Amino acid sequence: MRILRILIWLAIGVLGALALATIALRRGESINAMWLVVAALCTYALGYRFYSKFIAAKVLVLDAHRATPAEHLENGRDFVPTNKWVVFGHHFAAIAGPGPLVGPVLAAQFGYLPGTLWILAGAVFGGCVQDFVILLFSVRRDGKSLTEIAREEIGRVGGLVAYAAIIGIIVILLGVCALVVVNALKASPWGTFTIAMTMPIAMLMGIYLRRLRPGKVLETSLLGFVLVLLAIWGGQWASQNPEIGKWFTFTAPTLAILIILYGFAASALPVWLLLAPRDYLSTFVKLGTIAMLAIGIVGLRPTLHMPALTRFIDGSGPVFAGKIFPFAFITIACGAISGFHSLISSGTTPKLIRREPEARMIGYGAMMAESMVAIMATIAACVLQPGTYFAINSPAGIVGQAPEAAAATISNWGFPVTATEMHSLAQAVGEQTLYNRTGGAPAFAVGMAHIFSNSLGGQAVMALWYHFAIMFEALFILTVLDAGTRVGRFMIQDALGHLWKPLGRTSSYPSILTTSALIVLAWGYFLWQGVRDPLGGINSLWPLFGIANQLLATVALCVATTIIIKMGKARYAVVTLAPLCWLVSVTFTASWHKMFDPNPRIGFLSHAQSLASGTATNARLIFNDRMDTVVTGILITMVSLILIESTLEWARVISGRKEARVKESPFVATQFAAEEQV
């Protein structure tokens, strides 16, 4: 039996190596997307079986006899011992956001190879490890949050920095997410109609759930989903009707204002009326669509038309400027490692885990599933002809406004595309144009529509699939937006409550309106900056988001390394120290480039300088560049502080100047182990 197991794992290893060699070494010919799927599945299987098991057994020493907070603090509300597969689904639904879809699509400008390799290596050695260890450390501290753990294990500065970093990342994340939606919906009456309809549909769901069928959320979500499908179908009619089509055709600035107003309303309206039903609807669509995409890719087994590497590895890419190192790594963000996951791993999930050893499957395993979503996004982007991909994702400031000029520029780069082809594609997906749709969402939607329409319905329904994909992305990006605005509002209220108690009252309407306005204005500033940017906004804002997200992961890995050293396991600290060192080098290098690079397409300050020295001086753009420099500088300074404080703590513990003692909750024996033996 043992020999058979060894042979099976050897076969998985050989197959994975063959798939990786195929995607890495094939040049000049298209490869099938299944090579990426096989490489990913084998890598995850090996990573889970061997690396996560090593971490569980040697580093964390998972204890099957120790009661989890879900057991010894069970209250039927927050702390509930739950089946591991149910917690896995819950955790995956919480961590899966737009990042792993958008990031890999943008990074595809380097070709499919760099993104794929980083998604696999980053997840197995970084993202999965981070999610797993933070989840376990939170379980052993009665479900405490990352900021509380940072304060207890590193010090007050650690806690404060983690808190400020979270606010910073939420603001930047929301601004970038909103920009992705604006770029997907501008001049698109069909998409705008569908998304606008999701708001009354959500309200209807809220009322149905509260008045007619209390508690029947699955039934209500299914009903909402049917209504959304009708809205997609209705969007086609609306876009073809000249009078109604006009009502839903907006420019980017108008859409930005509408989204800012929506964010404010969603934060201030009762949760049951808009936020909660939209959240349910978005989760329903998200889980269903991800499953459909996986089935579509395996069923269709499409060919990747994007080369393994493109000429843009030199840093001159039109989607975003900068070389593979460090920009591919901060662009992919959540598909490989996401600091935001550490908030989920130290939030709801640790309060549901029934047995300590299950933390491995839930923490490490759910991140592998998220990473697989990123691989699927890479495939969706790379099944497009490269010329089409660049025509959709390149801003007008780089390729020109006129279709012929844009097609000529892109063809000159070596990626042939014609204005006629782009026009036909736009017509096939029911849009007026697909040029200059930066942000990743439209390119992903075209790729997804290609996969879906070739699997089901053919070219005749490509427009419906495209708008289904746009609805899917916009719906759950807007859910991130309204939930994030509310979370940010609560965090500001908590902080202000320390200064003056009335400001901290979460039910006081003046406080709700003031703090909602503050958080909406903060991310609205970044959104506005993005829509006014001639380079499309994504070029400056997505890297800023990637830096913020990866810096939060740096904070989480600092906390994890500190705890591992305090556990007396310094010899194994490399499991979190290695990804930490990598992230520090990536984020600090990227930040340096974004602030001081002499190329105006990369460096904020040099861009400001180029505007000032040009004839068309634009004070607003210069101010934005300087503001982005300050924000990046503040984030880097905060993380430097936590790094210094952590390093000093490690030195004190390793040199014996400080007692190595972790602040875990006292051991309580589990009753479940005895029950299982009976």
Contacting positions for another protein (CB under 8 A): 75-78, 80, 82-83, 85-90, 93-99, 170, 173, 177, 209-211, 214-218, 221, 270-272, 275-276, 279-280, 283-284, 287, 333-334, 338, 340-341, 343-344, 347-348, 479-480, 483-484, 486-487, 490, 545, 549
**Closest distance to another protein from the beta carbon of 159 (Å):** 17
CB atoms within 10 A of CB 87: 25
Half-sphere exposure for 192 (CA within 13 Å, toward CB): 24
**Closest distance to another protein from the beta carbon of 483 (Å):** 4
**Closest distance to another protein from the beta carbon of 373 (Å):** 12
Angle at 110 between CA 385 and CA 605, to 5 degrees: 125
Helix spans in 250-382 (H): 252-268, 275-300, 324-332, 341-345, 358-359, 365-382
Least Cα distance to 187 among 255, 233, 237 occurs for 255
**Closest distance to another protein from the beta carbon of 266 (Å):** 11
**Closest distance to another protein from the beta carbon of 95 (Å):** 5
**Closest distance to another protein from the beta carbon of 455 (Å):** 23
Whichever of 417 and 586 has its CB closer to another protein, that residue is 586
Whichever of 170 and 398 has its CB closer to another protein, that residue is 170
Q: Are 644 and 39 in contact (CB under 8 A)?
A: no
Q: Structure tokens of 630?
A: 């300050």
**Closest distance to another protein from the beta carbon of 134 (Å):** 13
Alpha-carbon distance of 303 to 167, in angstroms, equals 42
Q: Are 104 and 332 in contact (CB under 8 A)?
A: yes
Whichever of 425 and 477 has its CB closer to another protein, that residue is 477
Alpha-carbon distance of 633 to 643, in angstroms, equals 15
**DSSP 8-class letter at 47:** I
**Closest distance to another protein from the beta carbon of 241 (Å):** 35
Instruction: Using CA atoms of 254, 257, 262, 263 in order, give the dihedral in degrees to the nearest 10.
Output: 140
Alpha-carbon distance of 408 to 130, in angstroms, equals 45
Residue identified by tokens 């290098």 is 589
Give the torsion sign (CA, 149, 151, 157, 159): positive
Helix (H, G, I), strand (E, B) or coil at 336: coil
**Closest distance to another protein from the beta carbon of 601 (Å):** 25
Instruction: Using CA atoms of 231, 291, 394, 402 in order, give the dihedral in degrees to the nearest 10.
Output: -40
Centroid of chain to Cα 324: 19
CB atoms within 10 A of CB 661: 10
**Closest distance to another protein from the beta carbon of 494 (Å):** 10
Whichever of 115 and 339 has its CB closer to another protein, that residue is 339
**Closest distance to another protein from the beta carbon of 262 (Å):** 16
- In the chain the first and final C-alpha atoms are separated, in Å, by 28
**Closest distance to another protein from the beta carbon of 559 (Å):** 17
Whichever of 304 and 362 has its CB closer to another protein, that residue is 362
Least Cα distance to 354 among 90, 103, 603 occurs for 90
Q: What is the CA radius of gyration of the chain?
A: 25
Angle at 452 between CA 451 and CA 454, to 5 degrees: 70
Whichever of 35 and 284 has its CB closer to another protein, that residue is 284
Least Cα distance to 176 among 344, 11, 377, 340 occurs for 340
Least Cα distance to 495 among 479, 518, 463, 472 occurs for 518
